[in-house]
Amino acid sequence: MPVIAFANSKGGSGKTTTALLLACHLARSRRVTIIDGDPRQPITSWAGKEGHVPENLTVIGKITEDNVQQIIEDAAVKDPFVIVDLEGTASKLMAYAIGQSDFIVIPCKEQQQDAEAAVQVIRAMQRDFKMMGRSVPFAILFTMTKWIKARASKVIVEQFKTSTIPTFNAEITDRDAFSQIFLRGGTIYDLKGTSNNLEKAVENVEQFTIELIQKIKTEARDAA
Ligand SMILES: Nc1ncnc2c1ncn2[C@@H]1O[C@H](COP(=O)(O)OP(=O)(O)OP(=O)(O)O)[C@@H](O)[C@H]1O
Ligand SMILES: [Mg+2]
Protein backbone atom coordinates (compact mmCIF):
# COMPACT_ATOMS: atom_id res chain seq x y z
CA MET A 1 0.00 0.00 0.00
CA PRO A 2 -0.65 2.54 -1.44
CA VAL A 3 -1.61 1.60 -4.99
CA ILE A 4 -1.08 4.49 -7.41
CA ALA A 5 -2.52 4.25 -10.93
CA PHE A 6 -1.51 6.40 -13.90
CA ALA A 7 -4.51 6.78 -16.15
CA ASN A 8 -5.56 8.90 -19.09
CA SER A 9 -7.23 7.42 -22.14
CA LYS A 10 -5.58 10.18 -24.19
CA GLY A 11 -2.50 8.52 -25.66
CA GLY A 12 0.95 9.98 -25.20
CA SER A 13 0.14 12.08 -22.15
CA GLY A 14 3.21 10.89 -20.22
CA LYS A 15 1.70 8.06 -18.15
CA THR A 16 4.43 5.47 -18.70
CA THR A 17 7.30 7.93 -18.36
CA THR A 18 5.98 9.50 -15.16
CA ALA A 19 5.00 6.14 -13.62
CA LEU A 20 8.52 4.83 -14.23
CA LEU A 21 10.18 8.01 -12.91
CA LEU A 22 8.13 7.74 -9.72
CA ALA A 23 8.79 4.00 -9.33
CA CYS A 24 12.56 4.40 -9.76
CA HIS A 25 12.65 7.35 -7.39
CA LEU A 26 10.76 5.47 -4.66
CA ALA A 27 12.86 2.35 -5.27
CA ARG A 28 15.96 4.22 -4.10
CA SER A 29 14.79 3.70 -0.54
CA ARG A 30 11.79 1.32 -0.58
CA ARG A 31 10.46 -1.76 -2.31
CA VAL A 32 8.19 -0.95 -5.23
CA THR A 33 6.19 -3.03 -7.67
CA ILE A 34 5.36 -1.48 -11.01
CA ILE A 35 2.57 -3.18 -12.92
CA ASP A 36 2.77 -2.85 -16.68
CA GLY A 37 -0.91 -2.68 -17.55
CA ASP A 38 -0.36 -1.64 -21.17
CA PRO A 39 -0.68 -4.51 -23.70
CA ARG A 40 2.25 -2.97 -25.60
CA GLN A 41 4.35 -3.65 -22.46
CA PRO A 42 6.52 -0.52 -22.46
CA ILE A 43 7.82 -0.99 -18.90
CA THR A 44 8.59 -4.68 -19.47
CA SER A 45 10.51 -3.69 -22.58
CA TRP A 46 12.39 -1.01 -20.58
CA ALA A 47 13.32 -3.63 -17.94
CA GLY A 48 14.67 -5.92 -20.68
CA LYS A 49 17.16 -3.33 -21.93
CA GLU A 50 20.81 -3.26 -20.92
CA GLY A 51 20.36 -0.50 -18.30
CA HIS A 52 20.22 -1.35 -14.62
CA VAL A 53 16.81 -2.10 -13.04
CA PRO A 54 16.85 -0.99 -9.37
CA GLU A 55 17.11 -3.90 -6.93
CA ASN A 56 14.05 -2.74 -5.02
CA LEU A 57 11.89 -2.64 -8.14
CA THR A 58 9.73 -5.53 -9.33
CA VAL A 59 8.19 -5.23 -12.80
CA ILE A 60 5.08 -7.31 -13.52
CA GLY A 61 3.76 -7.61 -17.06
CA LYS A 62 1.26 -9.80 -18.93
CA ILE A 63 -1.68 -8.20 -17.19
CA THR A 64 -5.21 -9.05 -18.33
CA GLU A 65 -8.65 -7.99 -17.13
CA ASP A 66 -8.93 -11.43 -15.52
CA ASN A 67 -5.77 -11.21 -13.40
CA VAL A 68 -5.28 -7.48 -12.76
CA GLN A 69 -7.19 -7.31 -9.48
CA GLN A 70 -5.39 -10.30 -7.95
CA ILE A 71 -1.99 -9.08 -9.13
CA ILE A 72 -2.53 -5.65 -7.58
CA GLU A 73 -3.79 -7.20 -4.35
CA ASP A 74 -0.78 -9.53 -4.04
CA ALA A 75 1.69 -6.74 -4.85
CA ALA A 76 0.12 -4.45 -2.25
CA VAL A 77 0.64 -7.11 0.42
CA LYS A 78 4.28 -7.56 -0.57
CA ASP A 79 5.49 -4.01 -1.24
CA PRO A 80 4.86 -0.61 0.38
CA PHE A 81 4.31 1.02 -3.03
CA VAL A 82 2.48 -0.36 -6.05
CA ILE A 83 2.38 1.67 -9.25
CA VAL A 84 0.14 0.78 -12.18
CA ASP A 85 0.78 2.07 -15.69
CA LEU A 86 -2.33 1.86 -17.86
CA GLU A 87 -2.83 1.95 -21.61
CA GLY A 88 -3.94 5.03 -23.52
CA THR A 89 -7.48 3.83 -24.19
CA ALA A 90 -10.43 3.27 -21.89
CA SER A 91 -10.79 -0.44 -21.13
CA LYS A 92 -12.19 -2.86 -18.59
CA LEU A 93 -8.65 -3.45 -17.37
CA MET A 94 -8.35 0.28 -16.68
CA ALA A 95 -11.64 0.33 -14.76
CA TYR A 96 -10.64 -2.71 -12.67
CA ALA A 97 -7.21 -1.26 -11.87
CA ILE A 98 -8.72 2.08 -10.91
CA GLY A 99 -11.12 0.30 -8.59
CA GLN A 100 -8.16 -1.24 -6.73
CA SER A 101 -6.22 2.02 -6.43
CA ASP A 102 -5.72 4.47 -3.59
CA PHE A 103 -4.81 7.38 -5.84
CA ILE A 104 -5.04 8.12 -9.55
CA VAL A 105 -2.54 10.41 -11.25
CA ILE A 106 -3.86 11.83 -14.52
CA PRO A 107 -0.92 13.05 -16.58
CA CYS A 108 -1.93 15.80 -19.01
CA LYS A 109 -0.03 18.02 -21.45
CA GLU A 110 -0.72 21.75 -21.28
CA GLN A 111 -2.66 21.74 -24.54
CA GLN A 112 -6.33 22.32 -25.23
CA GLN A 113 -7.11 18.89 -26.74
CA ASP A 114 -5.33 17.19 -23.87
CA ALA A 115 -7.15 19.30 -21.31
CA GLU A 116 -10.53 18.46 -22.88
CA ALA A 117 -9.61 14.76 -22.95
CA ALA A 118 -8.58 14.90 -19.28
CA VAL A 119 -11.97 16.35 -18.33
CA GLN A 120 -13.70 13.54 -20.25
CA VAL A 121 -11.52 10.96 -18.49
CA ILE A 122 -12.47 12.40 -15.11
CA ARG A 123 -16.19 12.27 -16.02
CA ALA A 124 -15.85 8.64 -17.11
CA MET A 125 -13.98 7.80 -13.89
CA GLN A 126 -16.66 9.47 -11.82
CA ARG A 127 -19.29 7.30 -13.52
CA ASP A 128 -17.18 4.24 -12.61
CA PHE A 129 -16.92 5.50 -9.01
CA LYS A 130 -20.73 5.65 -8.84
CA MET A 131 -20.99 2.07 -10.06
CA MET A 132 -18.34 0.94 -7.57
CA GLY A 133 -19.99 2.83 -4.73
CA ARG A 134 -16.57 4.22 -3.85
CA SER A 135 -14.54 7.10 -5.17
CA VAL A 136 -10.78 7.18 -5.56
CA PRO A 137 -8.88 10.44 -5.06
CA PHE A 138 -7.17 11.77 -8.17
CA ALA A 139 -5.32 14.82 -9.47
CA ILE A 140 -4.12 16.14 -12.78
CA LEU A 141 -0.36 16.31 -13.27
CA PHE A 142 0.88 18.57 -16.04
CA THR A 143 3.55 16.78 -18.03
CA MET A 144 6.10 17.62 -20.71
CA THR A 145 5.82 21.24 -19.62
CA LYS A 146 8.12 23.86 -21.10
CA TRP A 147 10.30 26.36 -19.27
CA ILE A 148 8.89 29.21 -21.27
CA LYS A 149 5.16 28.81 -21.27
CA ALA A 150 3.04 29.70 -24.27
CA ARG A 151 0.02 31.88 -23.53
CA ALA A 152 -2.37 29.04 -24.34
CA SER A 153 -0.60 26.78 -21.81
CA LYS A 154 -0.93 29.42 -19.10
CA VAL A 155 -4.66 29.79 -19.79
CA ILE A 156 -5.23 26.02 -19.71
CA VAL A 157 -3.38 25.58 -16.42
CA GLU A 158 -5.19 28.58 -14.91
CA GLN A 159 -8.58 27.13 -15.90
CA PHE A 160 -7.81 23.90 -14.06
CA LYS A 161 -6.37 25.65 -11.03
CA THR A 162 -9.48 27.77 -10.62
CA SER A 163 -11.82 24.80 -11.15
CA THR A 164 -12.80 22.13 -8.64
CA ILE A 165 -10.59 19.58 -10.38
CA PRO A 166 -7.58 18.75 -8.18
CA THR A 167 -4.16 19.42 -9.71
CA PHE A 168 -0.55 18.99 -8.63
CA ASN A 169 1.54 22.10 -8.10
CA ALA A 170 4.53 20.08 -9.24
CA GLU A 171 4.81 19.47 -12.97
CA ILE A 172 6.96 17.09 -14.96
CA THR A 173 8.96 19.18 -17.36
CA ASP A 174 9.97 18.19 -20.86
CA ARG A 175 13.51 16.83 -20.39
CA ASP A 176 15.93 14.83 -22.41
CA ALA A 177 16.78 12.75 -19.32
CA PHE A 178 13.16 11.65 -19.03
CA SER A 179 13.00 10.27 -22.56
CA GLN A 180 16.56 8.87 -22.53
CA ILE A 181 15.73 6.15 -20.01
CA PHE A 182 13.63 4.39 -22.64
CA LEU A 183 16.52 4.32 -25.09
CA ARG A 184 18.94 2.19 -23.14
CA GLY A 185 17.02 1.27 -19.99
CA GLY A 186 18.17 2.16 -16.47
CA THR A 187 17.16 5.19 -14.47
CA ILE A 188 17.88 8.90 -14.56
CA TYR A 189 20.31 8.26 -11.68
CA ASP A 190 22.48 6.21 -14.07
CA LEU A 191 22.68 9.03 -16.60
CA LYS A 192 25.51 10.94 -14.90
CA GLY A 193 27.70 12.56 -17.55
CA THR A 194 25.29 11.80 -20.39
CA SER A 195 22.53 14.25 -19.64
CA ASN A 196 22.68 17.94 -18.83
CA ASN A 197 20.85 19.34 -15.83
CA LEU A 198 20.52 15.95 -14.19
CA GLU A 199 20.23 17.48 -10.73
CA LYS A 200 17.25 19.51 -11.86
CA ALA A 201 15.64 16.39 -13.34
CA VAL A 202 16.06 14.52 -10.05
CA GLU A 203 14.70 17.51 -8.12
CA ASN A 204 11.70 17.60 -10.46
CA VAL A 205 10.78 13.96 -9.79
CA GLU A 206 11.38 14.45 -6.06
CA GLN A 207 8.98 17.42 -5.90
CA PHE A 208 6.26 15.40 -7.59
CA THR A 209 6.86 12.40 -5.29
CA ILE A 210 6.70 14.52 -2.12
CA GLU A 211 3.47 16.20 -3.21
CA LEU A 212 1.91 12.87 -4.23
CA ILE A 213 2.71 11.25 -0.87
CA GLN A 214 1.33 14.31 0.91
CA LYS A 215 -1.90 14.12 -1.11
CA ILE A 216 -2.28 10.39 -0.36
CA LYS A 217 -1.72 11.02 3.36
CA THR A 218 -4.24 13.88 3.43
CA GLU A 219 -6.85 11.78 1.61
CA ALA A 220 -6.30 8.84 3.98
CA ARG A 221 -6.61 11.14 7.01
CA ASP A 222 -9.79 12.78 5.66
CA ALA A 223 -11.33 9.38 4.91
CA ALA A 224 -10.58 8.05 8.43
N1 LIG B 1 8.62 14.68 -19.24
C2 LIG B 1 8.99 14.24 -20.44
N3 LIG B 1 10.10 14.76 -21.04
C4 LIG B 1 10.48 14.33 -22.28
N5 LIG B 1 9.82 13.41 -22.99
C6 LIG B 1 8.72 12.85 -22.45
C7 LIG B 1 8.25 13.23 -21.15
N8 LIG B 1 7.12 12.51 -20.88
C9 LIG B 1 6.92 11.73 -21.95
N10 LIG B 1 7.85 11.92 -22.89
C11 LIG B 1 7.92 11.28 -24.22
O12 LIG B 1 6.63 11.43 -24.83
C13 LIG B 1 6.21 10.20 -25.45
C14 LIG B 1 4.91 9.71 -24.80
O15 LIG B 1 5.18 9.48 -23.42
P16 LIG B 1 4.60 8.20 -22.66
O17 LIG B 1 4.85 6.96 -23.44
O18 LIG B 1 5.11 8.28 -21.28
O19 LIG B 1 3.04 8.55 -22.69
P20 LIG B 1 1.83 7.57 -22.37
O21 LIG B 1 0.75 8.42 -21.82
O22 LIG B 1 2.30 6.44 -21.55
O23 LIG B 1 1.46 7.05 -23.82
P24 LIG B 1 0.41 5.86 -24.17
O25 LIG B 1 -0.96 6.43 -23.99
O26 LIG B 1 0.73 5.55 -25.61
O27 LIG B 1 0.68 4.74 -23.23
C28 LIG B 1 7.37 9.24 -25.29
O29 LIG B 1 8.15 9.30 -26.47
C30 LIG B 1 8.16 9.78 -24.12
O31 LIG B 1 9.55 9.48 -24.20
MG1 LIG C 1 2.07 4.40 -21.83
Taking the domains of the chain in order of start, what are their residue ranges?
Answer: 3-223
Which of 38-47, 54-63, 84-93 is least confident?
A: 84-93
Q: Where does the pLDDT of residue 194 fall: very low under 50, low under 70, confident under 90, or very high at 90 and above?
A: low
Task: Answer yes or no: is the C-beta of 45 below 6 A from any ligand 1 atom.
Answer: no
Pick from 61, 66, 68: which is nearest to 100 by CA? 68
Query: Does the Cβ of 37 fall within 6 Å of ligand 1?
Result: no
Tell me how far the alpha carbon of residue 18 lies from the centroid of ligand 1, in angstroms: 8
Report the first-to-last Cα separation within the chain, whole angstroms.
16
- Assess contact for 138 and 125: CB atoms under 8 A: yes
What is the per-residue pLDDT across 122-165, written as a single tens digit (0 to 9) for each? 999 999 999 889 999 999 999 999 988 899 999 999 999 999 99
Domain 3-223 listed as CATH 3.40.50.300: yes
Share the mean pLDDT of the chain: 94
Q: Is 25 in the pocket of ligand 1 (CB under 6 A)?
A: no
User: What pLDDT was estimated at residue 139?
Assistant: 97
Share of the chain above pLDDT 90, in %: 85
Higher pLDDT, 224 or 87: 87
Contacts of residue 205, Cβ cutoff 8 Å, sequence gap at least 6: 21, 22, 25, 172, 188
Position 196 scores a pLDDT of 64
Q: Phi and psi of 192, rounded to 5°?
A: -45, 130
